[in-house]
Amino acid sequence: MVCLAVLAALFTAGSALAVDYTYYLPYFRADADFWSALGLRNANDAKSANISVSVYDANGVLLTAINKGLPPRAQEAFLVAEGMSEEGWMRVDSNQPLTGVSFLGTKGFGNYMADMPFVSELSEVLQIPHVAQNNEWDSTVMICNPNSSDIVVTMTIVDKGGNVLSSQNYAISPRGSGIYNLTSFVQDIASGSVEISATQKVAAFALYNNLKWGGNCYSGISALIPRDAESPSVTAVYPMWLDNNTNGINDYVEFETHFSGSGNNSRSQRIVDESGSHHGGGYALDTGAGFYSHGFTDLNGDNICDYAQNGTGTWHGPGFVDTDNDEICDYWDADAPLYSRNEGMWFDDQDGNMINDFFEAQWHQGNGHGFTDLDGDGICDYAQDGSKTWHGPGFTDYDKNGIADHWQTGGRGHGGSHHLFD
């Protein structure tokens, strides 16, 4: 007997007053072993629905487009990607609101099947409320990127007691998708959850089964938006850290891998002092913060962007969010509702001088070190050398090595792949 777990009801989305409706199915597979299908219902009882189903592979290539018409209140179910050997995700567009569900089934003995409800709301933060990975259970997470640019997603495995077990970053190409088996994170967890954060909004889904144990459970689990979280993710870590060249300096503040929030590597404006004079680590403060998508600036010639050394709320690394369009990261912008709600380094400016108070002598908070200012610029030197030195509240150091856990390999703030921004 098939243990078919329907963990989310069919979702009715959209409003009768809206013109266009888009729905997302984070996964499909059609090959010799699996089939996928859609069940669609026109939720409008007076008008016909014109529907287009776009089927993408994991690399973002459009495999096929299926056009359907449904009279008022009508329904239709049909196979997708039949005769192909592909897996990826689907998008459904309609001029009328729909209710719908996708089915994923196995061929051959057992004929197991799981269902996946429509997703009408994407998010930068999602949670899968239950997973297990051990000698009995397998869990696999599928994430689709409906956006037109590369993204980085962070998956974090949390045990039932709320403890983080593992965290990894993945790149997903434009309109592509990813499939992640929990065996790459943990080998023995009987009950836990998955947190997903992304640099742009995504949809996700999980498959959960005990077939390898000889069981007959094959279940679909929806990824849900935590309703007490505001978008973007309150579980993300800002700023991010990466050190692929292992020189102890954050790659995002160095020239070759400089990244300040744009869709491209912002190296084009290498601003240096041609006279060769030394202005000190705070020289760039003369021009205030280096806002979103600023070029690499190195007037003191130390190969670290000056805007990472002058104590301002300047952004470096992926994940920049600016919902009020003032070119300052919302998490470090006192006028924004998300101010200081992130994990990671915090920013405060009680004296209004555009320098992070936690770097200054009066309010200095630096885990494991006192205020140090050998160059006399009023900013702690350890906030200016590009290292993983922690300033501000929220420091977590479970392995007690003096380095913020989020900025170590596997931590949620450990950045993404630089090739995305080249």
Tell me the pLDDT tens digit for each residue of 254-269.
988 888 765 444 444 4
The predicted-structure confidence for 117-167, as pLDDT tens digits, reads as follows: 999 889 888 999 999 999 999 999 999 999 988 898 999 999 999 998 988
Given a cut of 60, whether residue 278 has pLDDT beyond it is no
Report the range of poorest mean pLDDT among 128-137, 175-184, 232-241: 232-241
Measured distance CA(395)–CA(397) in Å, rounded: 7
**Do 290 and 317 form a contact (C-beta atoms < 8 A)?**
no
Q: Which of 300, 331, 303, 299 is nearest to 315 (CA)?
A: 331
Q: With 70 as the cut, is the pLDDT of residue 422 above it?
A: no
Q: How far apart are CA 384 and CA 116, in angstroms?
A: 49
How does pLDDT run across 373-421, given as a tens digit for each residue?
A: 998 989 999 999 998 887 887 676 666 677 777 787 766 677 653 322 2
- Alpha carbon distance 209, 221 (integer Å): 11
pLDDT score at 27: 96
Please say if the pLDDT value at position 341 is more than 90. Answer: no
Condensed to tens digits (0 to 9), the pLDDT of residues 401-410 reads: 777 777 877 6
Q: Pick the closest to residue 331 from 238, 261, 248 (CA basis).
A: 238
Q: How far apart are the C-alpha atoms of 144 and 146, rounded to whole Å?
A: 6
Q: What pairing do the DSSP bridges indicate for beta strands 98-106 and 123-133? A: unpaired
**For residue range 27-85, what is the model confidence (pLDDT) as tens digits?**
999 999 999 999 999 998 899 999 999 999 999 999 999 999 999 999 999 999 999 99
Residue-wise pLDDT tens digits, 8-34? 333 333 333 333 789 999 999 999 999
Q: What is the pLDDT of residue 179?
A: 96
Q: 316 pLDDT band (50/70/90 cuts)?
A: confident
Q: Give the mean pLDDT of 270-275.
A: 47
* pLDDT value, residue 419: 27
Residue of 266 and 347 predicted with greater confidence: 347
Does the structure show a pLDDT above 90 at 237? Answer: no
Q: Where in the chain is the domain with CATH 2.60.290.11?
A: 1-228
To the nearest 5 percent, what fractions of the chain are helix, strand and coil? Answer: 10, 35, 55
d(CA 281, CA 309): 6
Give the DSSP letter string of 338-369.
TTT-SBSS----TT-SSS-GGGSTTT--BTT-
Closest CA to 206 of 122, 124, 139, 113: 139
Q: Of 290 and 329, which is predicted with more confidence?
A: 329
Distance CA 179, CA 176 (A): 11
The dotted CATH code for 1-228 is: 2.60.290.11
* One-letter amino acid for residue 224 of the chain: L
The 10s digit of each residue's pLDDT in 195-231 is 998 888 899 999 999 888 888 888 899 999 886 544 4
Which of the two residues, 232 and 261, has the higher pLDDT score? 261
